[in-house]
Chains A and B, each alone.
Chain A
Amino acid sequence: DAGITQSPRHKVTETGTPVTLRCHQTENHRYMYWYRQDPGHGLRLIHYSYGVKDTDKGEVSDGYSVSRSKTEDFLLTLESATSSQTSVYFCATAGQGAYEQFFGPGTRLTVL
């Protein structure tokens, strides 16, 4: 988890409200990723970024958007949260070689 922080660490919200999760890194890594982890599904890729303002969709991107205005920050937004988005969200980063990914501590999101 060194060098990667996520905020908030826990959040409870209501269906239909917007939610933004933040990932901050101090490693100056080029690549950043958002995953969600659910029982029975393991970790699944939501979106990723390969540079400032450069992002792409992952396996489960519907209902999520991302933004990266500077190297150290990667934001994940749920425009209108649904109960199916209750999950634990992990941010990860990777350096230029982009093989090994380092994970943050996670954010537990509950949508009521």
Chain B
Amino acid sequence: GESVGLHLPTLSVQEGDNSIINCAYSNSASDYFIWYKQESGKGPQFIIDIRSNMDKRQGQRVTVLLNKTVKHLSLQIAATQPGDSAVYFCAENMYSGGGADGLTFGKGTHLIIQP
């Protein structure tokens, strides 16, 4: 698959503020996008996903926005808490007819929460 990248390697926000993490993707054929959270020493943990036929999806304190026109994906975290400190990855999954290929990951954004 083609690369999925992130605009900023590190994002620092105040506790209680909203966080926005951005991601650019290059493959217009991608039909599924995922955000993962990875805490130090652990495996990636699923946060939220969105299909290409949608432009917004909300979860608990998180919202993912998809802009296919400019191939941009964002993750919004409301009322950021210390437990949100982690590296966040966007990924795309091109589901092929013969089965599921793996995910193509961006390089990650490190979210730092300031007290």
Tell me the A residues contacting B by CB distance below 8 Å.
1, 31, 33, 35, 40-45, 48, 50, 58-59, 90, 92, 94, 98-106
Report the 6 A-B pairs with minimum CB-CB distance, sorted nearest first. Answer: A98-B100, A103-B43, A45-B102, A50-B99, A42-B105, A42-B107
Give chain B interface residues in 55-109, CB to chain A under 8 Å: 89, 91, 93, 95, 98-108
B49 touches A48 (CB 8 A): no
Tell me the B residues contacting A by CB distance below 8 Å.
1, 32, 34, 36, 41-46, 49, 89, 91, 93, 95, 98-108
Return the chain A residue nearest B101 by Cβ: A48
Q: How far is the CA of A61 from the CA of B63 in the complex (A)?
A: 34
Given the contacts A103-B43, A105-B42, A43 and B32 also touching, CB distance less than 8 Å: no
Measured between C-beta atoms, what is the minimum distance from A74 to chain B in Å? 13
Measured between C-beta atoms, what is the minimum distance from A59 to chain B in Å? 8
